[in-house]
Structure 1
Amino acid sequence: MSTRARGRSHEVAGSRGGSRGLLTGSGQIAVAMMLMNVATYAFTMAAARIIGPVPYGAYFALMNLLMIVGVVMLGLQATAARRISADPTHTGQIERGILRVTARASLLLGGVLLLASPLIDHLLDLDSMPTAMLVAVAAVPLTMTGAQMGVLQGERRWRELATMYVLSGVPRLVIGLALILWRPTEFMAFLGVALGFYVPLLYGLAVLRQGREYSDTHERHGLLLMVKEAVLNSQALFAYFALTNVDMLVGRSVLDSHDSGLYAAGLIVSRAVMFLPQFVVVVAFPSMSTSRNAGRALATSMLLVGALGGACVLATALFPDLVLVFAGGQQYDEVSGLLWVFALLGTCMALLQLLVYSVLARQDRVSMALLWAALGVVVVLAATIVSTVGQLLAVVLTVDMVLLAALVPISFVKLRERSTAQ
């Protein structure tokens, strides 16, 4: 089948599948992401117990740095998925172009991080240059995997994409656990993570080894334009991740150590609720990038995310003591009465993530600016009026809900305008 014919088939399948396609893809991705998250969590808990508190602190700092670096990966994934979904007749050109851009970006990022190894070693207080250099070793496959996932996501190849998600977590558990049982150090723990990233990369190379042939090209898919879009997407995603993580950083400065610990325990619930419906975003994004199904895909996805989040809020309100077991235990019982509010915050975060990807799908710079504005408001308000856990939670939840209330109508109006223009 020609690239053009394949493109038409993807477009038709996307328009006819509707909610059924969303639910079918969601099932595969949900199981895969669950396995990935369980494996990742299992290795994190194993590392905490096996290597000890001091090495684990260094490992945790490295993982947080890698999360920031991973924004580039997510930006490239969103770029590939959006372009292929929006213009499937040029899948071959987009695939080859984005993989070429990603290869250069990953090597450049790896080189920068390698040169910055002394700075990383100093800032994270590692006292180990080899450990600091591993950040570069991990960043290269992590970044390249992003584009591969984006291609599969844009083409709605859910089985292969689900396999990549599983391979993003399970090999880390197997390889990392073997290494830290051999030598329980932060170097071995992070080496297991770095080596684990090469497994999905190799799988991605295998499933995409025969690039799509293409005869016609379009200037809108030029390499420079792809780079610009990837940078734009990365900064928007960075704003989202900063918004959903800045409260913990601010909390460390405005709350005492006891209260900041209580807030951190509550955030475990928020993060769990936020990540639970992440598979919905992955499956819905290609449909949100098309002109025909964007509004329906966003509405269906918001209902699904909202329903999952509402169920979590209700369960947390009814069984706070049970939820507290997973949020640190009885030593954090002072925050048990607020756990349902933390679950509500996690639901807002999940809905915001969905809307952020809708923003990326339509490349709306005004909505991106609102993300940065909300981040600034949280920092200013938290630094000036917050002195308790409840106040910090109220500030963050209020800002998130206001942002949510602003982005929802903007998103549907913009999607309607784009559909009408087509």
Structure 2
Amino acid sequence: MAVMSIATYGFTMIAARMLGPGAYGALVAMMNTLLVVSVLQLGLQATAARRISAAPDHVAQIEHGILRLSWRASLVLGALMLALAPAVNTVLRLDSLPTAIIMALTAVPMTMLGGQLGILQGERRWYPLAVVYIANGLPRLLIGVALMAWRPDELTAIIGVALGQVVPVVCGWWTLRHTRSPGVLLPEHGARAVLRETLHNSQALLAFFALSNLDILIARNVLDDHSAGLYAGGLILTKAVLFLPQFVVVVAFPNMSTASERRRALTKSLLAVLALGVGAILGSLLLPGFAMVFVGGGEYAAIENKLWMFALLGTLLSMLQLLVYAVIARQGRYSVLLVWVALAGMVALGLTTTSLAGLLAVVIGADTALFVALTALSYWLVEQPAPIVVDEPVPAAA
């Protein structure tokens, strides 16, 4: 995951230099939109990992159902995104329908990958999981940079992202190609129960990813193109700090899905994420010039004195992400409403801002309030067992 994160960060850093603030702002808007769309991928991953961790004796049935659901969900989402491509082109101000179409097609392999990752994560097959994660980062870097070197614009950049997204799916398919017979089918792992949990997990993650990505869309509507591009440049550091501790979430989630290990896993994980975030904040404060090298160079110098704020935002978001996964692990039904409330407040206040600093302050304030509330609620409810959702009776396999 470290290799994947470095490759992904490298792609965004190089893109910022090769494209410049204007085109890079458009690319970031597309990437953030894809992150929001990826909630279905992450919902599939969380469902597979939680169910396999909680019921290891029924891996074959869960694996079979998750893979089948992943194929269907990816095709449906891809068709929906294609239908919405003209609207996305207008909202993101891309001025290029082919660019919006390529972004829509990217959702198909991206969603399929979720089920594959969840199965490997739930079974704790860390080596093949690592291979798939590496394949999810390096091809994007290599293909994307090559295409931008040929033609430096947002269209070639998103084509590189789309092509790079196919490689990990092929790796995942190869790893899971030998599927086992599902054997006796249990109703709690039936198709409808799995779909309901996937949709619940996806809407929880949708709330988080909307919270962590809509600020760039607000920036593109309340700020001029240059200022919005500067804000997007600062978000490079935010996303780096957000995704740096991603491995903590992946390793801790199976433990958080077990009631006896939940509190300890949550506490240790929050402390680990906080330690990494504090290091990033201090680095941005003490070495802002060095941090600018990773943000995009001299064209983004206007935000040098605000880099620590972007690092703080990334730290808050990484801890919020862990808390949202803790809610999913215990299948909490109402805690996620807090995320939606924070999102509404951020959008309402953000649209009233007129400066980069003002927007950044609003976003940090909304995330801080949510972190305090969700932490208190999570520790209050952390020992509650996950509810069992039972599907209709399923006949035994022939």
TM-score normalised by L of structure 1: 0.81
2:385 is matched with 418
- Going from structure 1 to structure 2, the CA distance change for 1:34 and 1:127 (only over 3 Å counts) comes to same
- Going from structure 1 to structure 2, the CA distance change for 1:297 and 1:63 (only over 3 Å counts) comes to same
1:161 is matched with 129
Aligned to 1:68, which of 29, 36, 44? 36
Contact 2:36 2:210 in 1 (8 A): no
Report which stretch shifted further, 106-115 or 402-411. Answer: 106-115
2:204 is matched with 236
In the TM superposition, what is the alpha-carbon distance from 1:303 to its structure 2 partner? 0.9
2:170 is matched with 202
Tell me the distance in 2 between the aligned counterparts of 1:112 and 1:281: 30
Deviation digits for residues 132-170 of structure 1 (CA, Å, limit 9, x no counterpart): 443444222211111000000111111111110100121
Tell me the distance in 1 between the aligned counterparts of 2:23 and 2:362: 34
2:64 is matched with 96
Deviation digits for residues 320-359 of structure 1 (CA, Å, limit 9, x no counterpart): 3332343344565554444323322221111101001111
Q: Which has the higher helix share?
A: 1
Aligned pair 1:113/2:81, yes or no?
A: yes
2:392 is matched with none
Alignment of 1:233-312 (within 5 A): 233-254=201-222, 260=228, 263-312=231-280
- Going from structure 1 to structure 2, the CA distance change for 1:172 and 1:342 (only over 3 Å counts) comes to closer
Contact 2:25 2:228 in 1 (8 A): no
In the TM superposition, what is the alpha-carbon distance from 1:207 to its structure 2 partner? 1.2
Aligned to 2:361, which of 383, 394, 403? 394
1:23 is matched with none
Report which stretch shifted further, 34-43 or 174-183. Answer: 174-183
1:220 is matched with 188
1:405 is matched with 372
1:27 is matched with none
Report which stretch shifted further, 250-259 or 144-153. Answer: 250-259
Aligned pair 1:140/2:126, yes or no?
A: no
Deviation digits for residues 219-244 of structure 1 (CA, Å, limit 9, x no counterpart): 12111121121112112111111212
- Going from structure 1 to structure 2, the CA distance change for 1:333 and 1:194 (only over 3 Å counts) comes to closer
In the TM superposition, what is the alpha-carbon distance from 1:119 to its structure 2 partner? 4.7
Deviation digits for residues 181-232 of structure 1 (CA, Å, limit 9, x no counterpart): 5666655543333232222112111111122344333212111121121112
Query: Helix, strand or coil for the counterpart of 1:364?
Result: coil
In the TM superposition, what is the alpha-carbon distance from 1:284 to its structure 2 partner? 0.9
Please tell me the residue identity of whatever aligns with 1:301: S
Report which stretch shifted further, 398-407 or 345-354. Answer: 398-407
Tell me the distance in 2 between the aligned counterparts of 1:107 and 1:137: 10
Please tell me the residue identity of whatever aligns with 2:251: V
Aligned length, in residue pairs: 387
1:28 is matched with none
Aligned pair 1:350/2:312, yes or no?
A: no
In the TM superposition, what is the alpha-carbon distance from 1:278 to its structure 2 partner? 1.4
Contact 2:25 2:229 in 1 (8 A): no
Tell me the distance in 2 between the aligned counterparts of 1:183 and 1:321: 29
Report which stretch shifted further, 394-403 or 187-196. Answer: 187-196
Tell me the distance in 1 between the aligned counterparts of 2:44 and 2:179: 18
Aligned Cα RMSD in Å?
3.1
Q: Which has the higher contact order (CA 8 A, sep 6+)?
A: 2
Query: Helix, strand or coil for the counterpart of 1:195?
Result: helix
Larger radius of gyration, structure 1 or 2? 1
1:370 is matched with 338
Structure 1, unpaired ranges of 5+: 1-32
Please tell me the residue identity of whatever aligns with 1:215: G
Please tell me the residue identity of whatever aligns with 2:365: T
2:391 is matched with none
Please tell me the residue identity of whatever aligns with 1:359: V
Deviation digits for residues 260-284 of structure 1 (CA, Å, limit 9, x no counterpart): 5554444333222222111111111
Structure 2, unpaired ranges of 5+: 389-398
